[in-house]
Amino acid sequence: MQQSNAVVELDALLMKSDPDSLDWAEYAYEDGKGLLARLNEEDRAVLFGSAKTKPSNWRGCLISILHPSKTDESEVLIGALGDVDDNVVGEALRRLYFYRGFNESTTKGVFEDRRLRVDSFWDRVRLDSRVVQRIEQLSQENRYISAYWSAFCEAAGKGGQLP
């Protein structure tokens, strides 16, 4: 099977990129999103299926360009919570919170912003107790992310309980 040019280009871009670099944040991130959008269903399956064999920088960059409004992308994002690399897991966790409607600012701290929420993703995550438990576990292990868990519980009105 011949891979499309977009798959080859995206693979090469992810391979040479680092999710923590300014180049990725300022330029390559948008290029990656554009290339991902060009992939057909078959190409997407090939790309996502190869993720476990790729280096952590590749996986981290991929996680950063996923949008969970697409079912296959939401599954890859959720699956990254079990990645072997802590940086990839951290990126996945931050993206999960972002698309569940939580953000952070220097003035407000972590706060709920429902404009960010992808409702289908919110429901998918919220209704899967294994995913919620994993998110809670990871959030409690990471001080930076623990503020997100607190804001999530507060927004859910449960005082630390899951919605």
Residues 20, 24: Cα–Cα separation, whole Å: 7
Q: What is the pLDDT of residues 24-68, one digit of tens each?
A: 988 899 999 999 999 999 999 999 999 999 999 999 999 999 999
Q: Are 31 and 25 within 8 A, CB to CB?
A: no
Per-residue pLDDT at 160 exceeds 50: no
Provide the residue count of the chain: 163
Residues 110, 147: Cα–Cα separation, whole Å: 6
The mean pLDDT value of the chain amounts to 89
- Residue 157, Cβ neighbours under 10 Å: how many? 8
